Amino acid sequence: MNTIHINQAGYLPESEKIAVLPFQAETFKVIDTDGNVAFEGKCTRFGFDENSGDTVCKADFSELKTDGEYRVVAADAASPLFRIGEHALDKTFRDLVRAYYYFRCGCELKPENAGKFTHGACHTSPASEWFDHSVKKDVSGGWHDAGDYGRYVTPGACAAAQLLYAYILYPNALGKLDLNIPESGNGMPDFLSEVKYELDWLMKMQKADGAVYHKVSTAQHARFVMPENDMGALYLLPISSMATADLAAVCALGYRVYKEFDSDYAGKLLDAAKLSLGWLDEDPQFIGFRNPEGCVTGGYGEGGDKDNRFWAYSEMFAATGDEKYLDKAKELLVYDFPRTEFGVGSIGGFGTLAYLTSGRIPESDRLAEAFKSMFISQAQRLRWLADRSGYMAAMDERDYGWGSNMGLMKHGMIFAVCDTLCGAHEFGVYAKRQFDVLMGVNAVGMSYVSGNVERAIGHPHLRPAATDGIDECIPGFVSGGANRRPVEGIAEKYIPKGTPPMKSFADVQDLYSVNEVTIYWNSPAVFVAAYLMN
Ligand code: 9MR
Ligand code: ZN
């Protein structure tokens, strides 16, 4: 049966509201829960949408601003239920952030915070160095990376950075969130307490000389068991210069944010940043990462570390105002890494943000202007994609790969940054449209955020969700999303060959290449939601 695609969380009263119909209709109605017609309008033909294979039309009901719960109906089809109101996005927003609490490793998740989704303390034993088991270290804590239980420094730093920048730019939305976490009420915004949980762990991954282990994990991914039942030995995998630079960067960034709330802690972060930066200064060589034989958990290798170093020096300049760091950052600009990427794997965009948000540059600084133009030209390209998409998704066919919702949300971030930092306010609505796509204005008609709404993903590739014996899915997790090249094996059964890219998805637990969750897929969604809520 036909359905009508809307943002299932809903819409703020003043926001644009456009439903997408994957069929032709002349008119549509918006009806409330009593069956009363709240709005009537004409559909606009869009035509064929390549990435979905759908011929669509659009129903614009932006004028409807009255609080309530509604469905859009046209012909014999109806949309899922959604809300219009000041608080329409509150629950989804809070859940997206609270997912990090459920990602926590090394502590018990107790019923008073976790509700029914409890688990025991996990992965608390000391980890041994992979190549010398006699070297052991306590590196407990932090967030599990994803559906697996590995903890990797570079994705961890990336997720934390996206969250901290969301806080820097949108403190009104994030600062007042009540997350009901163990730290709630301690005087620090809950949001920052949650990110601190990851930063504390990241600092444990630093060696005495400042170099940083690339990751800690078991040798293989755990079977599908609750985290406290994953008893495999934990290993510290060798250092990398990416991990070392990212640690320096995110700690310097943390210093800027936490100094307002806890100067001792901020000082600790800055010391950690300086230690790792000192190590980088002495060793300009790129030390990449590859899994040694026998280790098959996430690799997170990168082809170079110039972007990581650029980020680290830029953050150090922003944190301290010391020009020597700025000079180092500028020297790295001779290399041609992307300046507007927010990870994972390519993170130069954070260095750019550090510079722009440092508060240490004059109003009409040339480099700042150049950085802003880069964000804007990126946004122009993305807007072009969104305008030719039946679903308003700023996505190219090739963007529908593993974790495509990260791409979608990072594109939302670019639009948001253009509005917030670059004075290009015309891109704001495009950020909102990407969030709409995530929340249901997509060719599978699903909210890619678990929980809450009528048609949300409910079977993500996430070990605790799969093994807790509870039917209901833990809310707030962003699924990887449509992938035009899902890992072969069982995918074909659910996603036949030739399925259009935007439809290459199935809400099936085993399909990790389309339906896993990660800490760095939630974070850009938090960023975009915070932008909308601020
Ligand atoms: O996102 C990664 C994807 O591009 C790779 O092809 C895949 C296989 O190595 O790994 C993905 O990353 C996973 C990581 O290795 C472990 N944690 C979960 C990540 C997302 O699936
Ligand atoms: Zn754990």
pLDDT tens figures, 241-278: 999 999 999 999 999 999 999 999 999 999 999 999 99
pLDDT higher than 90, residue 283: no
Tokens describing residue 198: 């990851």
> Which of ligand 1's atoms lies nearest the C-alpha of 403?
1
> Which of ligand 1's atoms lies nearest the C-alpha of 401?
4
Kindly report the protein residue whose alpha carbon is nearest to atom 13 of ligand 1: 298
**Sign of the C-alpha dihedral computed for residues 335, 523, 87 and 408 taken in this order:** positive
Kindly report the protein residue whose alpha carbon is nearest to atom 2 of ligand 1: 402
**Would you state the pLDDT for residue 1?**
61
Mutate to test the pocket of ligand 1, among 103, 143, 148, 289 (most ligand atoms within 8 A of CB): 148
Kindly report the protein residue whose alpha carbon is nearest to atom 7 of ligand 1: 298
Residues with CB under 6 A from ligand 1: 145-146, 148, 150, 298, 402-403, 512, 516, 518
Kindly report the protein residue whose alpha carbon is nearest to atom 21 of ligand 1: 516
Whether the CB-CB separation of 453 and 8 falls below 8 Å is answered with: yes
Whether the CB-CB separation of 319 and 266 falls below 8 Å is answered with: no
Is residue 327 flagged as an active site residue? no
Q: What is the mean pLDDT of residues 430-456?
A: 97
End-to-end, the C-alpha distance of the chain in Å comes to 38
463 CA to middle of ligand 1, Å?
Answer: 15
pLDDT higher than 90, residue 2: no
110 CA to middle of ligand 2, Å?
Answer: 14
**Would you state the pLDDT for residue 452?**
85
Whether the CB-CB separation of 10 and 88 falls below 8 Å is answered with: yes
Tokens describing residue 125: 């034993």
Whether the CB-CB separation of 220 and 232 falls below 8 Å is answered with: yes
**Would you state the pLDDT for residue 18?**
98
Q: Which is the catalytic residue, given 148, 198, 305, 399?
A: 148
Whether the CB-CB separation of 311 and 350 falls below 8 Å is answered with: yes
* Ligand closest to the CA atom of residue 515: 1
**Tens digit of pLDDT for each residue in 174-209?**
999 999 999 999 999 999 999 999 999 999 999 999
Kindly report the protein residue whose alpha carbon is nearest to atom 9 of ligand 1: 298
Whether the CB-CB separation of 31 and 37 falls below 8 Å is answered with: yes
Distance (Å, whole) CA 9 – CA 336: 40
534 CA to middle of ligand 1, Å?
Answer: 32
Predicted TM-score (pTM) above 0.95:
yes
C-alpha dist (Å) from residue 185 to 110, 182, 190? 17, 9, 8
Task: State the chain's mean pLDDT as an integer.
Answer: 97
**Would you state the pLDDT for residue 151?**
98
Whether the CB-CB separation of 502 and 393 falls below 8 Å is answered with: yes
122 CA to middle of ligand 2, Å?
Answer: 4
**Tens digit of pLDDT for each residue in 64-87?**
999 999 999 999 999 999 999 999
Q: What is the mean pLDDT of residues 461-484?
A: 97
298 CA to middle of ligand 1, Å?
Answer: 6
> At residue 305, what is the residue type?
D
**Would you state the pLDDT for residue 363?**
84
Residue 329, SS3? helix
pLDDT higher than 90, residue 498: yes
Kindly report the protein residue whose alpha carbon is nearest to atom 14 of ligand 1: 298
Kindly report the protein residue whose alpha carbon is nearest to atom 12 of ligand 1: 298
**Percent of all residues in the chain with a pLDDT value above 70, rounded to a whole number:** 100
Find the length of the chain: 534
Is residue 461 flagged as an active site residue? yes
| Bridge partners of residue 143, in order along the sequence | 104
pLDDT higher than 70, residue 223: yes
The residue among 452, 417, 372 whose CA lies nearest residue 531 is 417
Q: Using alpha carbons only, give the angle 523, 69, 78 rounded to the nearest 5 degrees.
A: 90
How sure is the predictor about 150, in pLDDT bands with cuts at 50, 70 and 90? very high
Mutate to test the pocket of ligand 1, among 149, 402, 462, 521 (most ligand atoms within 8 A of CB): 402
**Tens digit of pLDDT for each residue in 362-418?**
988 999 999 999 999 999 999 999 999 999 999 999 999 999 999 999 999 999 999
Q: Which is the catalytic residue, given 246, 315, 419, 507?
A: 507
Neighbours of ion ligand 2 (CB under 5 A): 105, 122-123, 227
177 CA to middle of ligand 2, Å?
Answer: 25
